[in-house]
Structure 1
Amino acid sequence: MKQLTTFLFAWLLMIGVANGQQMKAAVNLTKATIVYNEADAPLVKQMAQVLADDIERVADVRPQVSIRSGKQPTVFLGTTKQTGRHRELKGTWERYAIDTKNGNIYVTGSDARGLAYGVLHISEAIGVSPWYWFADVPVDKNNKRVYDYAENYVSQSPSVKYRGIFINDEDWGLKTWASKTFEKELGDIGPKTYDRVCELLLRLKANMLAPAMHSCTGAFYSHPESQKMADKWGIMITTSHCEPLLFNNAAKSEWDKERDGEWNYETNSATILKKLDDRIRETAQYDNIYTMGLRGLHDEAMKGSKDPKVRARTLENVMAKQRGILEKYKGKKAEKLPQIFVPYKEALDIYDAGLRVPDDITLVWPDDNYGYMKRISNKAEQQRSGHSGVYYHISYLGTPHDNLWIATTAPMLMYEELLKAYNAGGDRYWLLNVGDIKPMEIEMQQFFDMAYDFSKFSYDNVNNYQAEFLTRLFGHHDFQYILDNYYQLAWNRKPEFMGYEMEWDSPEYSRRYDTDFSFQTGTAQKRLTAYQDICFAYDAIESKLTPEQRPALFEMLGYAVHSAYQMNRKYLYAQANHETGNMIYAEQSKDACRKIDALLERYNTQLDGKWNQMISEVPPGIVALYQKMPEYTDKPTDAYRLPDSQRHPELQHQIDLASLNVSGPFRLLEGIGTDWKALQLGQPLDFESAGSTINIPLSSGISPRTNSLQVCISVVPMWPVAADRSNRFEVSVDGGKAEMCENKFKEWSREWKIQVLENRKEFVFSLPLDASRQNHTMTLKIVDPGQIIQKITYE
């Protein structure tokens, strides 16, 4: 008690007030003593060491860490519980204050993680990136703020309360790297790996982790030290949609059919509940977030009755039992504990069949695995005390096609989809499926910056965010040009999808085809040239960097840009070979394969092999053929020609959407769509904008005395925002009869598969035209707000 009183007295005394004015004097951090209170949360002590480490990384001088204040200057670290300072922080979530007074710095947290974020705010300011280890971003040794630091700042609580990643489909990356390179002694993803992962998450201002859970990896709790590593960094453990109460039934060590029987609650509830009971008893001392409900083994559907209404009653019983288990071991009422329910795949059908989820449980809405939110909370759901959240993918293994290799989700799409979820109350829980973490760094950074402070993002700046982030790390270069073209090319076809197959479909669709790009019209050559240009641009930037900077930029950008180009060369030149029989094209395709291997070799060998096996191969997944060698021919053949049903109609004349004079509720979005400028028909939740119209002049291409117009309109294939809404807008010309365009589809249908692989849905129709007019006008009318038009052609 005496030590606590001394610490508090020293803190208050050294705040100091001179002549009624707070005195601000910069602090040389290399000469400061970092002081914390032993009675404070363990994370506070950890962060004292982290700050000392980071100062040493920049200045090669390690400051002293102590539990006692000595001579000035001093950096005091503490939570409001121990310091009594900043009463406005008390009782708030993850806030911090930094004060510079009388030659000292005071970092105060509303709680332990808030304090940690304050410390890491200083770390970034003096030149230590969150990615200093996980992406090898060099520490800024020239940063002078380490010798002259002064700041007065009070943060707000994060926009989203719980923010984290799901390490998933780790078979071809994190597992191979950890077991063969980083944690060879264990031969698995274990505490040494999770120590680094959780440090990264805290530095990104995240606070939770859903650990790897495939059967190739030892279950998280099979290595008890892994939970201790998470706790060391203040990171809560959560789990995916298929892991109830932290239990991973995909791991044989956790659930063995021969030992435990069927994972079927209707026939084996006692065994299942005993497993869940044991898990909560083992982990009750830690702060975790609990997945409620039940699915089948791993990612299978729930066993037992197929009737969604019967399943709903079963799940209600399951959740009641689960909440009883939580209360027994956590010593709190269930409504005081963080719980989630994820209506993923068949669980959404059960929810729609009338499943009653307790009001305090957070509904976590999933995207469709390709970046499009399937559902957001309706007005009734927005009143829930548990609010809602999102489960979002930038990596995915499954039908119609794996997307595990490189990140290609357009920043604008991520923002637009998460914005509508957030505006509908999705501020409680955001989980990002990152696959193996690498090479998803810049997309992860954007996601967590949005989750931490969504107010900093807007339609006007989000497309520039990643380029500005890279500029902060590597200096002023034209990253925007590279990123715009990289994402736009992938929007029109992701590198992984260049084989045009749809696995787990009928044989005629699950084989590989040539592309929809044409050497006859020039779209194939244009695509190859665009990729080549951004590779040249990347190489020019890399050549200007220091040797210490180059590995980081290659990991974060260069590998993806160059690999995407070579995958396109591989398939487009194979197509040229099929169309001509010319073996020179086959050699070009084979050369692309060799270059993909060379890029992989560079990734795995640079930095003395630090990341060897992180990308162990071009990930084949289980629903993909793109990684295989194409077949070649010595004579022209139509055997690989893409079916007409998958080809895109394009009419002769195109409306330049970018040139439109647009005002609310309409908006031009930059960074989305086939031509990277798209027209949004109102905000998704602005239902009052329904009925609004925009007139678009048709400036050319219409013959005199023509009384009809053929039109093709391409839209971004989003889902309706609610079960009682659709995706509709109306089109008319010259005030004539309107055509209703409605994008109705069912998940897993072939139509939906083609849409998500192409990022578009096309409507082709004829409209009556007033032949007496010299000038014609197309009118678009909002029916369901939020639709995004990406291309309009006509003839």
Structure 2
Amino acid sequence: MKRFLWLLLLVPLCMQGRTFKVANATVSYDKTESPQVIRAIGDLKHDIAMVTGSAGSGASQIIVGTYGSKTIKQLIAKGVLKDKDLRGRWESYVISITNEKQPRLVIAGSDKRGTIYGIYDVSQRIGVSPWYWWADVPVAQNPDAAVECDYYASGEPSVKYRGIFINDEDWGLKPWAAKTFEKELGDIGPKTYAKVCELLLRLKANMLAPAMHSCTGAFYSHPESQQVADAYGIMITTSHCEPLLFNNAAESEWNKQRDGEWNYETNSATILKKLDDRIRDTKAFDNIYTMGLRGLHDEAMKGSTNPKDRARTLEQVFAKQREILEKYKEKKATQLPQIFVPYKETLDIYDAGLRVPDDITLVWPDDNYGYMKRVSNSREQQRSGGSGVYYHLSYCGVPHDNLWIFSTAPMLMYEELLKAYTAGADRYWLLNVGDIKPMEIETQMFMDMAYNFKQFSYDNANAYQAEWLAKVFGQQHQEAFQYILDNYYRLAWDRKPEFMGYEMEWDTPEYARLYDTDFSFETGTAQKRLVDYQNICFAYDAIEQALAPEQRPVLFEMLGYAVHSAYQMNRKFLYAQANHETGNVLYAEQCRDANRQINLLLERYNTQLGGKWNQMMSEVTPGYTALYHQMPTLTNRPTTAYRLPDNQRHPEFEHQINLGGLDVKAPFRLLTGMGTDWQVLQMGQPLDQKASGSINIPIPSLPASADSIQLCISVVPMWPVSTDRSNRLAVSIDQGKAATLENKFKEWGREWKIQILENRKDFVLTLPLDKARGQHVITLSIVDPGQIVQKITYQPVLKQ
């Protein structure tokens, strides 16, 4: 009986609302705990001291342990912890408080990373943001900081492997590390990677694809970097072009004079020796292995250009790579995490019949601009290796770099990742974050989705970032944050700040030059764009001024720099356009002033906080061939020399349908947070092949003399979800003959480039009206489910 009462006293008291004050608490753990957990316990002690100002010397106790340890076994036996919440689970944890005279806080993990995530969860609950160092989020002093008593079982993460790819670091992370943070090395090295790994764990991520451009020393050229990642418990993965952890973009790894051509057909022995050496040297560490082969860095595979020949070569490569893994890892290849990324030309090879071993995870990439190119079909969903996602917030390449500031609409990110996740992409999610900064808000959202995707929905995805900022800077600002973000992303949807020069990179001279924009001073769209930007800058400034002084630089680096810089980049090009159209030198001076403001914003970013982030924004990121960062040519007389070609101009009509006012029923849905007007019509779920139906859209009154109508229907330029699907919808007027609209494009083609730079494809058509009807209607019908209509404009055609 006494034993039974003791067990009752130890039951977690979530229903009683108990709390545990962390000040002066000592942290206890078994000697058998892994070094990674013990290191994280050190962070917990540091965090408690930051918050409470106290050292762990009191009578209260925090117990930290991993499943299988003596302490955790005892707590399970006593009923403090539930075995089912830990045993056999991947990266799961429990936080609980014992019901004793002197309660104890328990942090228990199913494995080492589960325990570490539980530790950092407690840190976050007492007020330490994952971004306390990387974004300088202040830690509020609170001697009474406490953890709520609820028995919390995390469950397993939605996605097994979750992490970031540091990429295109030439103009941000590399100069910052080399000149500011890790000057003694002059490179991105172990000191920088220690901070990266801590951030990843606090975000509940578990893998890192290190920086790999030739400007940076290869990850394995600094052996301490791998040791640091292991000390934190972070797995190393690599990008699509780094087979078996080998970075051929670095001359220290592959030198053409020394090693010959990176061509498997003619130089396989040298290539395989390099891969063999790398796996031999890293066999002691946990890694995720990129399989297959591409060219040097981001180039296409060398040798035959026939996709079927390439497929046979890659199959040989797979076999040899798996032999190497088995030799050094002393496990069957089927037991090791491996990925194949059908990126760029390798997707063509895959479609040509490439046989990828069933246990290798297929990692589907987006098109570098946020649109998933493919998701697993019903056959691929049965593969034992499953599938994953490689997604971009930042990109250097055709048709234009997107490296400077964040601009991926939250709803687009959710809608596209939902597509992939629904098709089984729960094995591996890698996010290209560029330099990490200034992508903090979007990185946080992506990692939260990867960890617990089910907490997101169409109803809350667009509000997530404003809510997150409000938690950091004050709930009273949430509405203003939502206003700023909605309009910031909406304006970037129509044209990202980096795209305002309207040049296309790595293109013919006709297109690879600066042009005036498609926004018009005649119709007012240019003025409205400038006013909209100005208004969100005013809204941002009001919030910043209301914050405590220590919070202002934090908000600036996470939001203010991007908002103000986007405005000034638009000022620069729109006033240059006004100067070209009128020859007015006052507009030229406005353009120059905008450029000065851009440089002042850079200076503020690099000098605030004592210069902590100096060189992280070393310049407006130019990429390799971009021109948008340069000053446009100005004039003292009107000129059409910079007028945008007609094939890049929008064919909109005078009248517009209000999509937001439609009475929508399933399978149709209105989504807020995408499109030129920030509300779009989704025509069924993309993977619901049975979705069908139509929606009737009343047309406001037309002149009696009109006998037909011209329509411009703008759709979101997504990719078909599989090779047997397309991007089609049908439209008719007054129940007449339907016209099928199909957005069929080829990657790297002119049509695709224009669409991706503008987030739209416009269909223009003329259809007859039924003169006998009083109320005319547009009918949109599902052909390929998931199409998204973002704008409908029209004009009547009068009878001649």
TM beyond 0.5: yes
- Asked if residue 108 in structure 1 is aligned to residue 108 in structure 2, the reply is yes
Report if the CA contact (8 A) 2:53-2:143 is conserved. Answer: no
Aligned with residue 39 of structure 1, among 23, 32, 36: 32
Distance in 2 between residues matched to 1:705 and 1:489, nearest whole Å: 38
Question: Offset of 1:42 from its aligned partner?
Answer: 1.4
Choose 41-50 or 597-606, whichever is displaced more.
41-50
User: Structure 1 residues 706-715 or 392-401, which shifts more?
Assistant: 706-715
Per-residue Cα deviation, 1:361-386 (whole angstroms, up to 9, x for no partner): 00000000000000000110000111
Where does residue 773 of structure 1 map in the other structure? 773
Partner of 2:545: 543
Residues 375 and 722, structure 2, Cα contact 8 Å, conserved in 1: yes
Q: CA deviation at 1:16?
A: 5.2
Deviations 1:260-301 (A, max 9, x none): 111111111111111111111111111110000000111111
* Corresponding position of 1:6: none
Equivalent residue for 2:750?
750
d(CA) in 1 for partners of 2:632, 2:9: 79
Query: What is the CA deviation profile of residues 3-42 of structure 1, one whole-angstrom value per residue up to 9, with x for unaligned ones?
Result: xxxxxxxxxx999524685567533212211011121221
The equivalent residue for 1:594 is 596
Counterpart position of 1:92? 89
Q: Distance in 2 between matches of 1:362 and 1:72?
A: 49
Where does 1:383-398 land on structure 2 (aligned, <5 Å)? 383-398=382-397
Whole-angstrom distance in 2 between the partners of 1:196 and 1:19:
41
Query: Offset of 1:647 from its aligned partner?
Result: 0.6
Give a deviation string over 1:347-367, Cα, whole Å, max 9, x none.
001100100000110000000
- 3-state SS, counterpart of residue 465 of structure 2: helix
Tell me if structure 2 keeps the 8 A contact 1:131–1:200: yes
Give the aligned partner of residue 329 of structure 1.
328
Alignment of 1:573-612 (within 5 A): 573-612=575-614
Indicate whether 1:74 and 2:64 are aligned.
no
Correspondence 1:726-741 to 2 at 5 A: 726-741=726-741
Query: Is contact 1:72–1:104 with CA below 8 Å preserved after alignment?
Result: no
Distance verdict in 2 for CA 1:335–1:16, change over 3 Å: farther
- Corresponding letter in the other structure for 2:118: G
In structure 2, the partner of 1:307 is 306
Aligned mate of 1:28, from 15, 21, 27: 21
Give me the whole-angstrom Cα distance separating, in 2, the residues matched to 1:19 and 1:548: 44
Contact 2:12 2:151 in 1 (8 A): no
Secondary structure at 1:620 match in 2: coil
Partner of 1:721: 721
Deviation, 1:704, is 1.1
1:16–1:137 Cα change, 3 Å: farther
Name the residue aligned to 2:129.
129
**Aligned equivalent of 2:696:** 695
Question: Cα deviation per residue 1:164-190 (whole Å; 9 max; x = unaligned)?
Answer: 000000000000000000000000000
CA contact (8 A) 1:705 1:771 kept: no
Structure 2 partner of 1:239: 238
| Matched position secondary structure for 2:502 | coil
- Give distance in 1, aligned partners of 2:139 and 2:9: 40
Counterparts of 2:5 and 2:88 in 1: how far apart (Å)? Answer: 22
5+ residue gaps, structure 1: 1-12, 65-70
- Contact kept in structure 1, 2:393 and 2:408, CA below 8 Å: yes
| Matched-pair contact (CA < 8 Å) for 2:52–2:145 | no
- Compared CA separation, residues 99 and 430, structure 1 to 2 (3 A): same
* Cα pair 1:399 1:623 within 8 Å, conserved: no
Q: Does 1:623 align with 2:625?
A: yes
Q: Secondary structure at the match of 1:215?
A: coil
SS at match of 1:31: coil
User: SS where residue 372 of structure 2 aligns?
Assistant: coil
Give, in whole Å, the separation in 1 of the partners of 2:239 and 2:454: 28
Q: Say if 2:12 and 2:150, in contact at 8 Å, map to a contact too.
A: no
Question: Which whole-Å CA distance do the structure 1 matches of 2:545 and 2:227 have between them?
Answer: 42
What is the DSSP-based 3-state SS (H/G/I as helix, E as strand, rest coil) of the residue aligned with 1:669?
A: strand
Q: Residue type matched to 1:462 in 2? A: A
Q: Is the 1:36–1:48 Cα contact (8 Å) retained in structure 2?
A: no
Pair 1:556-2:552 in alignment: no
State the TM-score, normalizing by the size of structure 1.
Answer: 0.96
Could you tell me which amino acid in structure 2 is paired with residue 40 of structure 1? E
Q: For residue 525 of structure 1, what is the amino acid of its counterpart?
A: Q
Residue number in structure 2 paired with 1:419: 418
Distance across 1 between alignment mates of 2:606 and 2:150? 41
1:672-728 per-residue CA deviation (whole Å, 9 max, x = no partner) reads: 0000000000000011013x111111123x221422111100000000000111000
TM-score, normalising length: structure 2: 0.95
Query: Post-superposition shift, 1:87?
Result: 2.0
- Matched letter for residue 237 of structure 1: I
Quick one: which amino acid aligns to residue 95 of structure 2?
Answer: I
Distance, in Å, in 2 between the alignment partners of 1:114 and 1:190 is 27
Match of 1:789 in 2: 789
Paired residues for 1:211-250 under 5 Å: 211-250=210-249
- Contact 1:679–1:789, Cα closer than 8 Å, also in 2: yes
Q: How far apart, CA to CA, are the structure 2 residues paired with 1:654 and 1:660?
A: 13
Q: How does 1:417-496 map to 2 (within 5 A)?
A: 417-475=416-474, 476-477=476-477, 478-496=480-498
Distance 1:21 1:345, change over 3 A: closer
The answer to whether the Cα contact below 8 Å between 1:737 and 1:768 also exists between their aligned partners in 2 is no
**1:298-341 Cα distance to aligned partner (Å, 9 max, x none):** 11111111111111111011011111111111111111110000
In the superposition, relative to structure 1, how do residues 258 and 18 fare at CA in structure 2: closer, same or farther (>3 Å)?
Answer: same
Q: Note the alpha carbon deviations across 1:656-686, whole angstroms, 9 max, x for none.
A: 0000010100000000000000000000001
Task: Read off the aligned partner of 2:723 and give its amino acid letter.
Answer: A
8 Å Cα contact 1:73-1:104 kept in structure 2:
yes
Tell me the amino acid that sits aligned with residue 672 of structure 2: E
Residues 401, 503 of structure 1: 8 Å contact kept? yes
CA distance in 2, matches of 1:464, 1:144: 31
**Partner letter of residue 349 of structure 2?**
I
After superposition, the C-alpha distances for 1:130-184 in whole angstroms (9 at most, x for unaligned) are: 00000000012247433x6533211110000000000000000000000000000
Show CA shifts across 1:93-117 (max 9, x none): 0000011002001111000111111
The separation in 2 between residues aligned to 1:232 and 1:669, in whole angstroms, is: 44
Aligned-residue sequence identity (percent) comes to: 70
The answer as to whether partners of 2:23 and 2:143 remain within 8 angstroms in 1 is no
Distance in 2, Cα, partners of 1:760 & 1:417: 16
Cα offset, 1:72, TM superposition:
4.2
Find 2:651's aligned residue among 649, 667, 674. 649
Instruction: State the 1:62 CA deviation.
Output: 2.2
Q: What residue number does 2:172 align with?
A: 173
Range with greater deviation from structure 2 (229-238 or 177-186): 229-238
Q: Which residue pairs with 2:573 in the alignment?
A: 571
- Residue 138 of structure 2 is matched in structure 1 by 138
Gaps spanning 5+ residues in structure 2: where? Answer: 77-81, 796-800
1:359-374 maps to which residues of 2 (within 5 A)?
A: 359-374=358-373
Contact 2:375 2:423 in 1 (8 A): yes
